[in-house]
């Protein structure tokens, strides 16, 4: 196998007209583009706002009788289910970050940007940041809707603020996974093929029913191993329980783990892509 011969350190012509922006500036500029791009396409943000509300409305009216089950932890199914909106917004962060990045790869825009002194990691970070900002905005809307529909946030104002932070972190996890998949596949089609699986993971969790009230044993096992359950339970606890240290700690641990996997996956896929050119 042949290898590239490293040249002795050379010093070349310095272009007096070009420098390079710092990494934070690069990320800021590119994230602005990512948000603008997403907001200029209604199909980019409308599902993230409408779909969760639609699911919330349908499920909370259709499953309202579930509150009569002995041991059900909430008086209103709407309170119990509000968390679906945050999870859906996080799911859309996967598509916003992943599809944005996959399109940049497919259409060669990533190469166009790579011809500048930009660090390629800045583009990935920016796409993730853009998706997270949109999810953050959506989370504020859902909290306002929750307050308007008299959802009783048991953890108070501080809990609501923490809920916002956790919802944003959850969106970050999903966005990082989306970016990783985009970098791995470089194809928006491949990415779209994975969304149904992520969607299914949402409903194979404790989203619609607390674990101990699920009758099917296999379903209980699945929810135990599904990280989404811990995200759901953590955020939900702030709404219907108050300050549940265990639920919150479990959620933070899962978020840290998934973030780590997402970031490491992105970094590895990026290195691989750069090595291949």
Partner 1 sequence: MQRSSEDNGIEVRGLVKQFKTGPKAVDGIDIDVAPGEIYGFLGPNGAGKSTTVNMLVTLLPPTAGRATVAGWDISTQGPDVRKTIGAALQAVALDNFLTAREHLRLIAALQGITGPRARTRADELLHRVGLEEAADRKVGGFSGGMKRRLDLALALVHEPRVLFLDEPTTGLDPQSRTSLWEEVRRLAREDGVTVFLTTQYLEEADVLADRVGIINRGVIVAEGTPAALKAEIGAPTIEIVPTGDDDRVAMSRVLEQFGELHPEAGSPGSVAVRLDQDLAKRASLVTIIRAIDEAGLQVAEVRQHDPSLDDVFLAKTGRTLEGATDAEAGVAEPVAR
Residues 144 and 127: their CA atoms lie apart, in Å, by 26
Which member of 12, 70, 71, 245 binds partner 1 (CB under 8 A)?
Answer: 12
Query: Considering only 35-43, 66-74, 231-239, 249-257, which stretch makes contact with partner 1 by CB under 8 A?
Result: 35-43
Closest separation in Å from C-beta 43 to partner 1: 12
Contact between 73 and partner 1 per CB under 8 A: no
The answer to whether 171 and 89 have CB atoms below 8 angstroms apart is yes
# binding residues, partner 1 (CB under 8 A): 43
Report yes or no: 226 and 244 within 8 Å, Cβ to Cβ: no
Candidate list 23, 41, 58, 199; residue touching partner 1; CB under 8 A: 41
Residue 27 CB, shortest distance to partner 1, in Å, is 11
Q: What span, in angstroms and rounded, lies between the C-alpha atoms of 173 and 252?
A: 11
SS3 string, 4-21, reads CCCCCCCCCCCCCCCCCC
* Token pair recorded at residue 173: 């996890």
- CA dist 123 and 113 (Å) reads 8
Which residue, 107 or 152, is less far from partner 1 as judged by CB?
A: 107
Q: What span, in angstroms and rounded, lies between the C-alpha atoms of 50 and 53? A: 5
Q: Rule CB under 8 A: is residue 19 a binding residue for partner 1?
A: yes
Is residue 25 a contact point for partner 1 (CB under 8 A)? Answer: yes
Binding partner 1 by CB under 8 A: which of 49, 82, 93, 118?
118
Q: How far apart are CA 156 and CA 147, in angstroms?
A: 12
When asked if residue 204 is in the footprint of partner 1 (CB under 8 A), the reply is no
Q: What's the closest the beta carbon of residue 34 comes to partner 1, in angstroms?
A: 10
- Site membership for partner 1, residue 271 (CB under 8 A): no
Number of neighbouring beta carbons within 10 Å of residue 253: 13
The region of 48-56, 70-78, 100-108, 180-188 touching partner 1 under the rule CB under 8 A is 100-108
Query: CA–CA separation, 101 vs 191, rounded Å?
Result: 10
43 near partner 1 (CB under 8 A): no
Is 68 near partner 1 (CB under 8 A)?
no
| 14 part of the interface to partner 1, by CB under 8 A | yes
Q: Which is nearer to partner 1, 117 or 242 (CB)?
A: 117
Nearest to partner 1 of 15, 150 (CB atom): 15
Q: How far apart are CA 97 and CA 127, in angstroms?
A: 5
The residue range among 72-80, 101-109, 167-175, 226-234 that interacts with partner 1, by the rule CB under 8 A, is: 101-109
Interface with partner 1, residue 37, by CB under 8 A: yes
* Dihedral-angle region of residue 242 (phi above 0 means left; psi in -120 to 50 means alpha; beta otherwise): left
Alpha helices in 63-207, H assignment, sequence order: 77-81, 83-106, 109-114, 120-148, 156-185, 188-203
Q: Which spans of this chain sit near partner 1 (rule: CB under 8 A)?
A: 2-7, 9-15, 17-21, 25-26, 29-30, 33, 36-37, 40-41, 104, 107-118, 274-275, 277
């Amino acid at each position: 196998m042949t290898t590239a011969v490293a040249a002795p350190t050379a010093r070349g012509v310095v272009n007096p007209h070009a420098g390079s922006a710092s990494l934070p500036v690069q990320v800021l500029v590119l994230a602005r583009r990512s948000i603008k791009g997403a907001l200029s396409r209604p199909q980019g943000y409308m599902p993230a706002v409408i779909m969760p509300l639609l699911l919330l409305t349908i499920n909370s009216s259709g499953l309202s009788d579930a509150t009569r089950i002995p041991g059900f932890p909430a008086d209103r199914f709407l309170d119990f289910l509000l968390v679906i909106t945050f999870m859906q917004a996080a799911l859309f962060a996967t598509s916003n970050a992943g599809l944005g990045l996959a399109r940049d790869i497919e259409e060669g825009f990533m190469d166009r940007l790579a011809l500048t002194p930009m660090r390629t990691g800045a583009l990935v970070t920016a796409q993730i940041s853009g998706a997270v900002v949109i999810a953050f905005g959506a989370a504020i809307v859902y909290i306002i809707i929750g307050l308007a529909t008299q959802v009783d946030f048991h953890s108070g104002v501080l809990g609501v603020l923490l809920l916002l932070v956790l919802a944003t972190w959850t969106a970050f996890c999903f966005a990082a996974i989306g970016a990783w998949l985009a970098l791995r596949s470089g194809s928006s089609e491949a990415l779209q093929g994975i969304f149904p699986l992520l969607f299914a993971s949402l409903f194979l969790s404790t989203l619609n029913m607390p674990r101990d009230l699920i009758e099917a044993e296999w379903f209980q096992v699945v929810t135990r191993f599904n990280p989404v359950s811990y995200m759901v339970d953590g955020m939900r606890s702030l709404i219907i329980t108050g300050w549940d240290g265990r639920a919150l700690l479990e959620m933070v641990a899962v978020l840290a783990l998934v973030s780590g996997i997402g970031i490491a996956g992105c970094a590895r896929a990026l290195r691989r892509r750069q090595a291949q050119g």
